[in-house]
Amino acid sequence: MEQLNFPEFSFRIQDVGQKKSIFDPVRKKFIPLTPEEWVRQHCLQTLHTIHGLPFQRIAVERGLKVAGLEKRFDIVAFDRQGKPLVLVECKAPEVHIKPQTLLQILGYNYSLQCPWLWITNGRDHHWAQCKDGNCRPCGFPKDLELPGVQ
């Protein structure tokens, strides 16, 4: 898989027939290693290793209702009280982040009400902080201390 704009992490990768799979520590199983999954696993490791979120407080690819429609988010991390804390939208590295991606994550966040949003294709990272109904870009905070993590 290609190099992404993340620190280096160790992953468990195995060959299954002609395809590769990667171990997902949240779902506790091997998942087909697609370009988007490669980005998703880097995001999980970033949330866990750099930001200190236990895997037990992270959900991956779960359903939610948005304006009456069934949707699926990529990653949601929760605070110690179980409230949504960070919503992550992952795209494959070759997918450019477009305004539609922002609309997608804002739609998901209408239901989830996360104070932090992260959109990434593994190369470009876009963070936003949401407060009092407003979301504002805040760059990629490498040393971000997320309230509610500890």
Would you say residue 32 lies in a domain? yes
d(Cα 105, Cα 116) in Å, to the nearest integer? 11
H helix intervals, 9-98:
35-45
Would you say residue 145 lies in a domain? no
Helix (H) or strand (E) holding 135: strand 134-137
d(Cα 102, Cα 33) in Å, to the nearest integer? 25
Question: What CATH code is carried by the domain that includes residue 33?
Answer: 3.90.1570.30
High-pLDDT (> 70) share of the chain, %:
92
pTM of the model: 0.90
Q: What is the pLDDT of residues 53-92, one digit of tens each?
A: 999 999 999 998 888 889 899 999 999 899 999 999 999 9
CA terminus-to-terminus distance, the chain: 33
Average pLDDT, the chain: 89
> Do residues 25 and 43 make contact, with C-beta atoms less than 8 angstroms apart?
no
Q: State how many domains the chain has.
A: 1
d(Cα 70, Cα 49) in Å, to the nearest integer? 31
Would you say residue 3 lies in a domain? no
Domain extent for 86: 13-137
> Do residues 107 and 67 make contact, with C-beta atoms less than 8 angstroms apart?
yes
